[in-house]
Structures are given as structure tokens and as C-alpha cells.
Amino acid sequence: MNGESTQDEAFREEVRAFLRAELTPELKKAGARMTSVYADHDASMEWQRILHAKGWAAPAWPVEYGGAGWSARQRHIYESERVKAGAPPVSPMGIKMAGPAIIGFGTEEQKSFFLPRMLSGEHFWCQGYSEPQAGSDLAALQMSARRDGDDFICNGSKIWTTHASEANWMFCLVRTTRAERKQQGITFLLIDMETPGVEVQPITMSSGEWIQNQVFFDNVRVPMANVLGEVDRGWTVAKYLLDFERGSSAYAPTLKAALDRLRGNLAQASARPSPALGYRLDEFAVQIEVLDALEMEILGKLASGAPTGTDASMMKILGTELEQRFTELQLEAAGPISRAWQPGVSAPGGEVLTYPVPIADYCSDAPWKAVAPLRYLNERAGTIYAGTNEIQRNIIAKAEFGL
């Protein structure tokens, strides 16, 4: 690859060899059948175990905590090769989000208890930030935690909680004090999901799948030892974690791999795209090149320690809008089979489904066609989660134009 150092080239070769040796057909299938940004839970955990055995489960963590200690460029190389090879991603809520927060703010006891279990997959995490009345205005959160001896007693609700039904731990923002500024008086708590009083209720997505949830807390007792950082100062931890949630996504390599795969699928089915679709696919390829150039520029800044300013917000907007665009093209390319899909088909009798998606069985010869409509529907959320794109535009407007 252009501009890559000899060490980077050697690293890329090492990653390729690892993927060739470790990626099973079942894991590749799970990668190909993804209907959202998440892979099937079991496949994702299996891949995490393989990465953990190699010492690669946590690319960005320091080596002393069991991480790979890779540079931003190495992480980008790994992600590019992973998506090209078709490996499923690892769930981000633990290793990418909770992990750095625990490393940054945790006590020695918290680090030695949580980090190894996060790496091994024994603990699977979900994120309890949003509430029914607190999304973009996150600091308006109301879930309460009242001190009782060495515990907090928590009451309230979190919503849109991805994978809460599979998670055994949640990192959670709670209100411990009513202060003048709403950002004050918030505490960052680590909650064992098996504690009595925690109830998870599914939210069925427009795709017919069950990925998000609402979680209710009824007098849930959480030890004070599970406060991350300081009581009433959780907003600092929350913001620190958000930088890890929004930053360092390899959008361009993911989209490049997806476009190559789509073209390959069309060629395999001898289904040449119509001239109009072919033109749009070419146009899309150019847009990915632009995104790639921007990502490389940001990587360069990270490597040199230059400030990245609003780059993360800009990448979130461009990356998610192009991801949505890709799902539109994929749906168009899938053609009439897409029309066979309707929520009732994938949810017979109104049942709530977990993935893998049974609809894939309807066209086992071309699962990409079956997942195209689901991926299209789920991707609508890309511009909403991790801070909506309108909020990212506000951030850019304030920082760059002083508005």
C-alpha cells in the first residue's frame, strides 16, 4: 500500500497470514450474514477467543493490561485486512468502550477484576447511557442512585440498550445529586446485570430483529466499589468513553470490502448491473476513495500527535452516510428478492426474533440478497446512534465556525 513503511508492510503480511490460518468457513459465513454492524453473538465471541489466544483481542489497550498496544495505523491495517477477509467484528461495548474507561479511571482492584474477564469474553458488556427522555441531551438523565451504607440503590430505566439481553455487565450513568448544572451530580456505575431488580425488555427493530432493549431498574443494589471514577463526577468518564465510541472507525476499508463483495456477488450470479446501477457503483467507489484519503490524513495526525479537532465528528457523518448509501445500492442490486421480504415473513406469529436471520434460508444460494433489506433497515440507525449526525454537525459548527 502507498506510503506504508517496511514495518507496516510486514505487519500487514502478519495479519494476512493470521487471518488465512484462523478464519474458519463458519466465521466467514457469520461475517457475510451480518444484518447490522454486529455479527451473530456466538460467532463474534468465538472470533474474540481466537484473537485473545493470539494477544490481539484489544488492539488499542496497552500491553500491560493484555492489549496488543498497536498504533493507530496498525489498527487501521488490521481492520482493513479483517473486513477484506470477511471476519466478524468483536462487540465494541466492552473492549472498545468500557475497557479504555476502566484503564483510564479504574482502581487497581477494578482493573484486575474486569479487564481479564472482558478480554476472555466471560464478561459481555452493554452501554446504559440513553433514557426515554435523555438522548442527544444526555445530561438530562434521570435514573437515580441513592446511597445506602456501602451500596447505591438504583431506580429508573435505560433505553435502546444494544445487546442488554446477552450482556452480564452494564456501564451506566446515574444521577446521584441534583446540581445546578445538569452535567454535575452524575455517577458512572458498573452494574452486574444479574442483580435482582434488573429487567430487560426487548425492542423489536423495523427489520424484525431483536438487538436493542429497554432495561428497567427496580431498587437495584450496586456496591459503591463499582463506581468508576468519582461519585458525582461521572460526566468526565462518560465523555472520555464517548471519544473511544466515536473515534477510530475504519469506515473506508469496510465500505471498499463491501463494494468489492457486492461486485463479486453480481459477477457470480452473472447479473451485470444495469448501466444506471453500474454508474452509481462507480460513483460510490470514488466517494470511498475520498473518505479513505481523509481517514489516512487523520491517521497521519494521530501518528504525529497533531490535534484532530472535529475529525471524529466529520468521519462519523461521512462514514455513516456512505454506509447508508451502500445499503441502498445493495438493495437495488439484490433486485426482486428484496420485495419478498416483509417483517411478517421474518417474524411469524409476531414472535420476537434473535439473529441469525431465518430469512437467509429463503435464498441460501445468495444470502447477501436475503440480508440486503435487513441491513438497509438497520443501517438507518447509523446516523442516530453514537450521537446523531445533527449533533455532530452542531459540534463542527461550534468548533470550526464559532456558531
Binding stretches for ligand FAD (CB under 6 A):
126-130, 135-136, 160-162, 212, 381, 384-385, 387-388, 390-391, 394
Residue closer to ligand FAD (CB basis): 30 or 377: 377
Q: Report how far Cα 141 is from the mean position of its chain's Cα atoms.
A: 22
Q: How far is the CB of 394 from ligand FAD (least distance, A)?
A: 5
Q: How far is the CB of 110 from ligand FAD (least distance, A)?
A: 21
Q: Which residue is nearest to ligand FAD (CB)?
A: 135
Residue closer to ligand FAD (CB basis): 136 or 342: 136
Rounded CA separation 375/26 (Å): 20
Rounded CA separation 145/142 (Å): 9
Count of CB atoms situated within 10 Å of the CB of 296:
16
Q: List alpha helices for 23-98, DSSP H.
A: 25-32, 41-54, 72-85, 92
Residue closer to ligand FAD (CB basis): 390 or 400: 390
Q: How far is the CB of 360 from ligand FAD (least distance, A)?
A: 21
Q: How far is CA 62 from CA 57, 115, 367, in A?
A: 12, 12, 39
Residue closer to ligand FAD (CB basis): 53 or 140: 140
SS3 at position 209: strand
Q: How far is the CB of 90 from ligand FAD (least distance, A)?
A: 15
Residue closer to ligand FAD (CB basis): 157 or 162: 162
Q: Which residue, among 101, 399, 384, has the nearest Cα to 238 in the 3D structure?
A: 101
Rounded CA separation 9/208 (Å): 43
Residue closer to ligand FAD (CB basis): 50 or 242: 242
Residue closer to ligand FAD (CB basis): 130 or 310: 130
SS3 at position 152: strand
Q: How far is the CB of 41 from ligand FAD (least distance, A)?
A: 15
Residue closer to ligand FAD (CB basis): 135 or 356: 135
Sign of CA dihedral 331, 273, 321, 306: positive
Q: Would you give the end-to-end CA distance of the chain in angstroms?
A: 40
Q: How far is the CB of 91 from ligand FAD (least distance, A)?
A: 11
Rounded CA separation 303/264 (Å): 35
Q: How far is CA 297 from CA 78, 284, 301, 312, 330, in A?
A: 18, 20, 6, 12, 28
Residue closer to ligand FAD (CB basis): 1 or 403: 403
Q: Which helix (H) or strand (E) holds 332?
A: helix 311-334
List of residues 6+ apart from 380 with CB closer than 8 A: 206, 324
